[in-house]
Homo-oligomer: A and B are copies of this chain.
Amino acid sequence: MANDPLSMWNDGPARTAILDFVARVTQNGGRDYVPPAERIATFDNDGTLWCEQPLQVQVFFALDRLQALAAKDPTMKDRQPYKAFLEHDLKTIHELGKKAVFEVAFATHAGGTEDEFDPAARAWLASARHPKLGRLFTQCVYQPQLELLDYLRANGFKTFIVSGGGIDLMRAFAEEVYGIPPEQVVGSSVKTRFELRRDRGVLVKLAELGSFDDREVKPQNIQLHIGRRPILAFGNSDGDLAMLRYVKSGDGPRLALLLHHDDAEREFAYDRDFNLSPLAEALDRAAEYGITVVGMTRDWKAVFPAPNSAGP
């Protein structure tokens, strides 16, 4: 890799911006040198590290969970928003918007413990496949991003996820797939209750949202979880804009990157029309805000890993 870093990235302004930035912050004695402890990089997950179309993976997980719940309680089939989920009614789901959809998704796990959630999520991820791409969801990750994460870590960066996705679903695969351990995953979360069950301390998931990690909540959660302003951030929607501007407006060298899904052939093409995570302001004002746009078509040699080369 040292001889050919970012080999999955085409030569162009995005790849050059990344290579230049990393060279500058790692050059000992250089004007822009940043000590390793401060080389914090934060990545959105849905749409930035893996595919979020036609629905975020979180929602597919909830769909399967709802099927199981509806088998026990058939009245769910007649009640919204469950009805829309159970009928895979994308139009109605999209109309709800991201936060409402995610709240339903999170609520499907209420009452269970964190100890129960993790193996259930791992079991689901081990076999659940993307409805259009056919591959495991854990293989719907972007190969150039896996390479970028590795490249940053090889250069002393600590890589974090800061995503609207449920924190514990992401933790169930982030270490194996992205090389990012649970303590470096920040996401949306529900409140929990600590209980002793037969002398075993457990955390019970409640139906109440703790934090919806989107938009201005991202910098808030970065402060809460990381406590240091990152020097690099990567997102793909207006939900990442506050994080990108927070990172970009710190002192010293900073790099903010925005993935534009313009690749209908190899993945999907969308931006402001995707109601579950629109991209409009960040794209329109990227130049003004100093954000580097990554065009999937132009900048990536490939999108997904070769079959069976990644994932658990």
Which residue numbers of A lie inside 8 Å of B, CB to CB? 37, 40, 114, 158, 160, 167-168, 171, 175, 181-185, 189, 191-194, 196, 199-201, 203, 210, 216-217, 219-220, 223-228, 242, 245-246, 248-249
Contact = CB atoms under 8 A, between A and B. Distances in A.
A191 B196 CA distance: 29
**In the complex, the 6 A-B pairs of residues with the closest C-beta atoms, listed nearest first:** A182-B227, A201-B246, A194-B216, A200-B249, A183-B226, A201-B249
A227 B171 contact: yes
A246 B195 CA distance: 9
A225 B225 contact: yes
Contact of A227 (B183, B191, B216, B226): B183
Contacts of A167: 224, 227
B168 A227 contact: yes
Given A37-B175, A226-B182, A220 B245 contact: no
B192 A223 contact: yes
Contact of A219 (B40, B171, B203, B228): B203
A220 B203 contact: yes
A228 B37 contact: no
Contact of A158 (B114, B171, B183): B183
Indicate the member of A175, A189, A228 with the most B CB atoms within 10 Å: A228
A228 B194 contact: no
Contacts of A194: 216-217, 219-220, 242, 246
A168 B222 CA distance: 13
Indicate the member of A192, A194, A242 with the most B CB atoms within 10 Å: A194
29 contacts: A37-B175, A114-B223, A160-B183, A167-B224, A167-B227, A182-B226, A182-B227, A183-B184, A183-B226, A183-B227, A185-B227, A191-B220, A192-B220, A192-B223, A192-B224, A193-B216, A193-B220, A194-B216, A194-B217, A194-B219, A196-B245, A196-B249, A199-B249, A201-B219, A201-B245, A201-B248, A203-B223, A210-B224, A225-B225
A41 to B, nearest CB: 12
A227 B184 CA distance: 9
B182 A228 contact: yes
A210 B192 CA distance: 15
A155 B201 CA distance: 27
Indicate the member of A191, A203, A210, A224 with the most B CB atoms within 10 Å: A224
A146 to B, nearest CB: 18
A110 to B, nearest CB: 15
Given A185-B227, A210-B224, 12 more contacts: A167-B224, A167-B227, A183-B184, A183-B226, A192-B224, A194-B217, A194-B219, A194-B242, A196-B249, A201-B245, A201-B246, A225-B225
